Amino acid sequence: MFKKNMLRHAILACSGASVVVMAGGVQAEELNVVSWGGAYSMSQQKAYHEPWMEKTGDEIVNIDRSGNALAGLRSQFEAGNVTWDLVDMLPADAMIACAEGLLEPIDHDEMLADAPDGTPPSEDFIEGSLSECFIPQIVYSNIVAYNTEMFPEDDQPDSIEDVFDIENYPGKRALIRKPINNLEWALVADGVEPEEVYDVLRTEEGVDRAFAKLDTIKDEVIWWEEGSQPPQLLADQEVAFGSAYNGRIFNAMVSEDQPFEIIWDAQVFELDGWVVPAGKLDKVEDYLYWATDTQRLADQAKYISYGPARESSNELVSTHAETGIEMEEHMPTYEDNFRTAIPKDDPFWADHNDELTQRFDAWLAQ
């Protein structure tokens, strides 16, 4: 452990060097890192990967497979040929993969960096975000956005209830072709308080109520399956509203100057983070220590509007790297945006996803 800590301190302190000579003659590594692609992988590349490669001489290879990470890990372990070294994964999938023995358990306080004031990781990461095999990086949100040019300036929508109001806010809606998020929003639009959504969804009557509310807009919905679709549909004015990942909409607003606004009401927020395939910990532990420290998570927020998963990172969030705009008010965790936020209930969806997906698909076919 002493040797490992000494190495970590040497790496983190060596900001002027392009390559670190590692203890014991360890040579530079090629790390295969699985993530989501697009603007999100770019934010990781800028905040974590490029500085690490400059410091160590390691080569980081980006693999855009996080959308099917669990299936990919299962396949590699079944074949006895695990080529992925570090994987960006959602918490629910991480729970499953961990239970199946596909991932390394993480001793968070032993393996990760303390906050600058000495607060241990177990107290610095968002409460409840750490799990046996999972290290969160960001908080992102599933939101609904709209094209401001499709509504009068003095009557712009601002709530989930408005999304379900076809009469006063006409136009097509683009929604993800899954029950998740749609059922939560349907209940909120029908009068359920955000903090009570999952209690209601756990009842047969609550599920019926959600589908009944979705019935009221079904004929006006275009269903999407890829994250790139909602911004394009909104830009082309094929839809007035679109559910989307908040980072995708932010990128379209600031980098492409699209006339979009986010409705933060009832945002469904969730975490995203790292898992280590079983047998790969020795190879990636120093990079993991670096990529999850306070500064690196704050740096990522320069490139995408996802909130850092460490409390100590929030005060370091500054401006967007390209446009110079202040990033704080664009974060899901910004106070005004977070007032009616719904934390995604991963255990609920792990237990009920199959049955609700079957019902959702049958409902679509009606």
346-365 helix and 91-99 helix, angle to the nearest 10 degrees = 110
What is the pairing mode between strands 59-64 and 135-147?
unpaired
Neighbour count for residue 254 (Cβ, 10 Å): 17
Tokens of 262: 């986010």
- pLDDT value of residue 29: 87
Could you write out the DSSP letters of every residue in 260-305?
A: EEEEEEEEEEEEEEEE-BTT-HHHHHHHHHHHTSHHHHHHHTTTS-
Q: What is the CATH number of domain 140-270+334-365?
A: 3.40.190.10
pLDDT average, residue stretch 102-114: 98
- pLDDT value of residue 117: 97
Neighbour count for residue 362 (Cβ, 10 Å): 9
- pLDDT value of residue 246: 94
The yes/no answer on whether domain 2-138+273-314 falls in CATH 2.60.20.30 is: no
Domain range list for the chain:
2-138+273-314, 140-270+334-365
Instruction: Tell me, yes or no, if the two domains 2-138+273-314 and 140-270+334-365 fold the same way.
Output: yes
Query: 19 falls in which pLDDT band (50, 70, 90)?
Result: very low
Who has greater pLDDT, 248 or 214? Answer: 214
- pLDDT value of residue 22: 47
pLDDT in tens, 123-164: 999 888 999 999 999 999 999 999 999 999 999 999 999 999
Give CA torsion, residues 23, 109, 270, 328, to 10 deg: -80
pLDDT in tens, 320-363: 988 899 998 999 988 899 999 999 998 898 789 889 999 999 99
